[in-house]
Structure 1
Amino acid sequence: MFSVGDEGKLQSLAMEHAFHRFSLAEIQVATQNFDDDLIVGKGGFGKVYKGRINDNRDTTERIVAIKRLDSFSNQGAAEFKTEIEMLSELRHRHLVSLLGYCSDNNEMILVYEYMPNETIEHHLHKADTPLTWMQRLKISIGAAEGLDYLHTGVGTQLGVIHRDVKSSNILLDEYWTAKIADFGLSKIIDQQTSGVSTRLKGTFGYLDPEYYMTGRLTRKSDVYSFGVVLFELLSGRRAVDRLFVDEGLNLAAWARKCIKERRIDWVVSSHIATQISPRCLKEFVQIAGRCVKSSRKERPTMAEVVAALQLSMALQEQSDRPAQAESSTGFTYKMQNLLFGSRHNSGEPDTLPSTHNGHMEHSFKMFSYRDIERATRNFGSHMLLGHGHYGEVFRGWLDKKTYSPSMSDSGLIIAVKRLFTYKFNPHMVKEIQQKMKSLEEFSDPNVVKILGYCAEEDSVLIIYEFMHQGTLNDYLFSVERRTERHLFISRVKISIGVARGLVFLQTQPKLVDCSLQMHNILLDEEFNAKLSDFDVAMLVASSDAPLYLQPNSSYDLKVKNGVFDFGVLLMELLSGNPVASESDLTATRHRLPGEHGFVSLPSIYGALDCRIKLNFLQTKPAVQLALLSQKCAVDKSYLRPTLESVLEELEEIYVIMLNIGNSGN
């Protein structure tokens, strides 16, 4: 694999630039003989291990990343040598440092500094730790500085074109500093040379279209790829996504289209939309849009990109200094108004609602048992709504302003949950009051709102807002509602509400093992979905088993990692049928467009719930929803999107339907 001359050259570089030539035995010790438990990354090149090596300068151990290339890897011997040669010459705080290599027994192993916060790709598309807007700005500036150094800073005569700039090749250290990695495809060029003709290399979605057409590689090819990364950071979307069918699956083409149509909000991730100042967003989108221009001549240099991104950060910092909330200008705020309208409810006392960090907050009212008894007509059987997981639920009426019992079946309708408890005693009252106090923070527009509680007369009662459309389980599957005609846009709206609620619940540390079933998803008059029973789970001791347990109508939605289960829920919303077993799931998958990558527009009509009628313009959003459900429910977990990115796609589908006008449906 290596000639004597090649091996000699690598050893000479190692001595000259003070990096180490490791023996295979040292690498085996560092990786515990390539233990699979130490694998931190995989790709077409091979595997990356987290290892420990002894620093030659003292006896301390150092954590490193060890990349072992497969002998049949796409990244062959030539690229292995190129990477060593490149990194021996390059030294910059925004480039990953090479510590050494191993070529014993024709192995191709590279040893790098370890990057504990992994890659941009990991955080945008895989992890449950989405980056803040300021983190994304700092990362983009760091990566841009690294590329600018490559293009202009290696020497007076030479420059380097990376040729494979993408989110998976931008790593993050313990301080979240961005560092560019993987130089196996890089090319050294003369500073005076505009470009070089070479075999086509790179990654689809990031590939400069002019390089693709002509085979001529220039620094502006890296600029194009980096522009895709910028839009990836802004949107949270992958460079290639089935959503962009009309744009050839291409994020860059889709972003250009959105900018041209003045729909910049579409390109902004809902997770960060409220964090971005308008001036910062304008500057960021402008430079990202210039980077992905089809013509190289219209693209900026990396030095210009660095300057524009630094200006973007300055504008953001300037906006943040007064600590004024920018959420009213963001995409998330607009979507909330489109979906849910104003949060103010004029029918409730003005003293109750307030906002904090974007969530509703209010102090719970302590009701007397006598008042709730009167409001529910002495818990009469005609007021019984059903048996929940933790107790019985009754309908009741309160005066809208005073919250005193209303005896005229008018005013503010409420739901009263009477909890089953076996250990009630007077000492519990104080404990329940403390727990209810903690629940005042547990508030979100997509979690059923608590109005108050009662803890007396050997009873624990929780008073909630009333949800007029009942449970999602009944809405979809009950015999009584099988004849109702349903709007497709309502199904999309329901899915967004559930996703929003789950994203919120993921931030609650006390809900590690909780799951959600269809009968715990409730719908208000406007088909806004809200989640229930999680608050009660925080109140009731685990030993207090509920008297009534509803049978599963579908897969449980896992709060902490529920993308697969949410995909199943989307399938149920589309098909109108429960998915309660593996065979149900297989059958539903097969009927929906998108399984095995095949999309047939007419097939959506046969797969949809018969209660839904689509007009022609709504076919595309329906197919998009079907594809999203298939993507969420793939067998391999690492291929599934994050719940946050799923939410973004759902919001975009909803906006598309609003633009269609929901004509006739």
Structure 2
Amino acid sequence: MIPAATLIADEHKLYSLAAERSCRRFSLAEIQSATLNFDDQLVIGKGGFGKVYKAYLHGNTGTPALVAIKRLDSFSSQGPNEFMTEIEMLSKFRHCNLVSLIGYCSDGDEKILVYEYMPNGTIEHHLHKARTPLSWMDRLKISIGAARGLDYLHTGVDTQHGVIHRDVKSSNILLDENWAAKISDFGLSKIGPTDQPSSCVSTLVKGTFGYLDPEYSMTGHLTRKSDVYAFGVVLFELLSGRRAVDRSFDEDEWGLVKWAQQRVKERRLDQIVCSQISGQISPKCLKEFAQIADRCLRSSRRDRPTMAEVVVALQLSMVLQQQFITSTQLAGAMGFTNIMQKYLVFRTSRDNEHSVDFEQSMSQEVRIYSYSEMEVATRNFSSEMLLGSGDFGEVFRGWLDKKTYKPSKLDSGLAVAVRRLFSNKFEPHKLKMKVLEEFKDANVVKVLGYCIEGDSVLIVYEFMHQGTLKNYLFSSEGRTERHELITRVKIALGVGRGLVFLRTQAQLADCSLQMHNILLDKEFNAKFSDFDVVMLAPTKDFHPSSSYDLEVKIDVFGFGVILLQLLTGKMIDDSGDLIGTTHRLPGEYGFVSMQSIYSSLDDRLRLNFLMRRPAFQLALLAQKCVVEELWLRPTLESALEEVEEIYAIMLKSENSTGN
């Protein structure tokens, strides 16, 4: 048993600790000003502890931030000890599935905590009050996020002690703007050693009826398995939509635990499923999910899983559900195309701003041109039309008639890029031009036609008005321009979608990321170039250059590096490091601060208040992609999904402000 004296430190020591962890101490005057002297119109929550207010405050970055201010009632159950405990807990730990503590105020009887604002409220609100139509996939993601947060607490990352939350419940799991779950309210938490799995803390029984571990209630011995029990209740809440205790039912069905356990025992799992998600769940996923929830509620602690085991089981449930969705879609009329639509043909209102020229070109078949026609289009391959040269040949600007796609004598109509391949790189009679007709994707530069005459090989592409990503970020002309973060995220989205296509559809063995091979159209949609030429007829000694290991670094690490370049505006050298710094942003993975990220951003970026959070999220994703531990890196598909979510939020924010 840990002595109570070691659990609650001296107040000044705690405040000093909080200061070291970038936790700011606010004055009472600052809090009163932000809350309009605790105006009830700003109240967004109430509890036994007091009230929570929504307000704007200046944090360590100096920029006003939307926050949640918890003012403890002097008569609340959360006294000075609980107040200091919460400061200690949240100052010590940093995790994407824990609510971040921004600061606090201690002034006489006033005890106030300032948190990051969670715009989507609590799980409890959505399940039992708003009746929000959360899909089964939404609920799975929420459960996995919350489980990861609890596992982080229990395993004591970067500390010798783990934390027992002691009040896990649906009202203490909050949802941010991306609907990511975050554990909150650490006022009742206790510290315990992590090297003793069965260690316990003897304490007065505290918690919430309906979630309390029966063994803890009877003995007063608190362990991490008490949190596991409470989390099992939350899992059945998500599955059933029922409260932990609901007296609107018959007396023998008031408690969710007893009701759900009986149905698991009788193998009547379908009866547990909420009507809102009925028909959405795979039978295998339902079985796995219900089994892990049931195991969490075992009467004996030794029979309950650890939170790490819960995370694994929930991830398996997600895999089973995704497999079910995939198989269902494959059986439909749309087939595989429908599955890849999210990645390859995803459209938002902003994406629909593609130029009409490009939309027309996408609908055309690959045409065969004569050499003389290409001479007309490029003004006889004049130096004035030369755009550049590379490994495969020279590229010229040319013009086609928009309607007929015939070469135009005027410098108007449809602009195209004409690549004249070097004869020593390709043998015309061996070229498999059929590949060009099949190599189609919205994030690969569109092939409009080709010409093969004698030793001459020419390929006609859509024209990319914004040039290469390398020039966009690093050219001397671009150094004075102001850039929008949303444009950079849109570019990242195109790069990710293109990579998914190249790997899954085109099945290229080498998708090495080169900044000069990523081109940008009028609307800054990113598109890959050159990969189609590699597929035509590479010579035996030809190997595309690459700075990164093929299987491990190019897909995920390489994507992470692209994200870092987009955020910082710094170039990569041959070793894969950002010139002038390391490839990591300041701070270790999982502990990087928002302030350190903002100080590293490209100073050309326009970054209003609404865009600061997405920048932070994108930076954290980049960090995950470039970590040395391979198993910690996300898959390319999950990284792309996260960028899509960030972009959608930015579009919504932009539209809401009328920009």
TM-score, normalization: structure 2? 0.52
User: CA-to-partner distance for each residue in 1:356-404, whole Å, 9 max, x for gaps?
Assistant: xxxxxx5310011111111011111111111123111111100011111
**1:234: Cα distance to partner?**
6.7
Out of 478, 488, 493, the position equivalent to 1:491 is 488
**Could you tell me which amino acid in structure 1 is paired with residue 368 of structure 2?**
M
**Structure 2 SS opposite 1:311:** coil
Out of 619, 626, 629, the position equivalent to 1:633 is 626
Check conservation: 2:358, 2:462, Cα contact below 8 A: no
Check conservation: 1:497, 1:528, Cα contact below 8 A: yes
Question: Are residue 391 (structure 1) and residue 401 (structure 2) matched?
Answer: no
Unaligned runs of 5+ in 2: 1-94, 99-133, 153-162, 182-234, 246-254, 284-323
**1:408: Cα distance to partner?**
1.4
Check conservation: 2:510, 2:550, Cα contact below 8 A: no
Relative to structure 1, the CA distance from residue 384 to residue 584 in structure 2 (aligned partners, 3 Å threshold; closer, same or farther) is same
Check conservation: 2:386, 2:397, Cα contact below 8 A: yes
Check conservation: 1:566, 1:632, Cα contact below 8 A: yes
Task: Give the corresponding residue for 1:573.
Answer: 566
Q: Percent identity?
A: 49
Relative to structure 1, the CA distance from residue 477 to residue 295 in structure 2 (aligned partners, 3 Å threshold; closer, same or farther) is same
Distance in 2, matches of 1:305 and 1:598, equals: 40
User: CA-to-partner distance for each residue in 1:469-494, whole Å, 9 max, x for gaps?
Assistant: 10001111111221111111111111
**1:653: Cα distance to partner?**
1.0
Task: Give the corresponding residue for 2:377.
Answer: 375
Out of 578, 585, 591, the position equivalent to 1:592 is 585
**1:592: Cα distance to partner?**
2.5
Distance in 2, matches of 1:408 and 1:255, equals: 67
Relative to structure 1, the CA distance from residue 639 to residue 332 in structure 2 (aligned partners, 3 Å threshold; closer, same or farther) is closer
Task: Give the corresponding residue for 2:463.
Answer: 466
Distance in 2, matches of 1:650 and 1:319, equals: 24
Distance in 2, matches of 1:412 and 1:255, equals: 58
User: Where do residues 42-191 of structure 1 align in structure 2 (5 Å cutoff)?
Assistant: none
Deviates more, 1:561-570 or 1:410-419: 561-570
Relative to structure 1, the CA distance from residue 338 to residue 592 in structure 2 (aligned partners, 3 Å threshold; closer, same or farther) is farther
Check conservation: 1:451, 1:464, Cα contact below 8 A: yes
User: CA-to-partner distance for each residue in 1:307-327, whole Å, 9 max, x for gaps?
Assistant: 658833699899987726895
Relative to structure 1, the CA distance from residue 383 to residue 319 in structure 2 (aligned partners, 3 Å threshold; closer, same or farther) is closer
Distance in 2, matches of 1:594 and 1:418, equals: 47
Out of 527, 531, 544, the position equivalent to 1:530 is 527
Check conservation: 2:393, 2:419, Cα contact below 8 A: yes
Check conservation: 1:228, 1:252, Cα contact below 8 A: no
Task: Give the corresponding residue for 1:451.
Answer: 448
**1:523: Cα distance to partner?**
0.5
Deviates more, 1:319-328 or 1:568-577: 319-328
**Structure 2 SS opposite 1:393:** strand
Relative to structure 1, the CA distance from residue 598 to residue 466 in structure 2 (aligned partners, 3 Å threshold; closer, same or farther) is same
Question: Are residue 365 (structure 1) and residue 367 (structure 2) matched?
Answer: yes
Distance in 2, matches of 1:556 and 1:474, equals: 25
Question: Are residue 657 (structure 1) and residue 659 (structure 2) matched?
Answer: no
Check conservation: 1:567, 1:628, Cα contact below 8 A: yes
Task: Give the corresponding residue for 2:555.
Answer: 562
Check conservation: 2:572, 2:579, Cα contact below 8 A: no
**Structure 1 SS opposite 2:533:** helix
Task: Give the corresponding residue for 1:323.
Answer: 333
Check conservation: 2:237, 2:243, Cα contact below 8 A: no
Question: Are residue 413 (structure 1) and residue 405 (structure 2) matched?
Answer: no
Task: Give the corresponding residue for 1:271.
Answer: none
Distance in 1, matches of 2:240 and 2:652, equals: 29
**Could you tell me which amino acid in structure 2 is paired with residue 661 of structure 1?**
E
Check conservation: 1:396, 1:414, Cα contact below 8 A: yes
Question: Are residue 602 (structure 1) and residue 595 (structure 2) matched?
Answer: yes
**1:579: Cα distance to partner?**
2.2
User: CA-to-partner distance for each residue in 1:404-442, whole Å, 9 max, x for gaps?
Assistant: 1112111100011111122777xx34x43xx22133222
Distance in 2, matches of 1:411 and 1:255, equals: 60
User: Where do residues 221-236 of structure 1 align in structure 2 (5 Å cutoff)?
Assistant: none
Question: Are residue 502 (structure 1) and residue 499 (structure 2) matched?
Answer: yes
**1:461: Cα distance to partner?**
0.8
Relative to structure 1, the CA distance from residue 406 to residue 330 in structure 2 (aligned partners, 3 Å threshold; closer, same or farther) is closer
**Structure 2 SS opposite 1:455:** strand
**1:509: Cα distance to partner?**
6.2
Check conservation: 1:593, 1:627, Cα contact below 8 A: no
Task: Give the corresponding residue for 2:239.
Answer: 290
Check conservation: 2:381, 2:396, Cα contact below 8 A: yes
Question: Are residue 337 (structure 1) and residue 286 (structure 2) matched?
Answer: no
**Could you tell me which amino acid in structure 1 is paired with residue 389 of structure 2?**
H
Distance in 1, matches of 2:143 and 2:450, equals: 41
Relative to structure 1, the CA distance from residue 472 to residue 305 in structure 2 (aligned partners, 3 Å threshold; closer, same or farther) is farther
Out of 311, 324, 328, the position equivalent to 2:279 is 311
Distance in 1, matches of 2:137 and 2:589, equals: 30
Distance in 2, matches of 1:476 and 1:461, equals: 29
Task: Give the corresponding residue for 1:77.
Answer: none
User: CA-to-partner distance for each residue in 1:302-353, whole Å, 9 max, x for gaps?
Assistant: 455446588336998999877268959986699523452177x654796x64
Distance in 1, matches of 2:434 and 2:479, equals: 41
Distance in 1, matches of 2:620 and 2:392, equals: 36
**Could you tell me which amino acid in structure 2 is paired with residue 439 of structure 1?**
L
Deviates more, 1:316-325 or 1:635-644: 316-325
Check conservation: 1:228, 1:292, Cα contact below 8 A: no
Check conservation: 1:290, 1:298, Cα contact below 8 A: no
Distance in 1, matches of 2:532 and 2:143, equals: 31
Unaligned runs of 5+ in 1: 1-203, 208-226, 268-285, 355-361
Out of 491, 506, 518, the position equivalent to 2:515 is 518
Distance in 2, matches of 1:252 and 1:474, equals: 51
Question: Are residue 616 (structure 1) and residue 609 (structure 2) matched?
Answer: yes
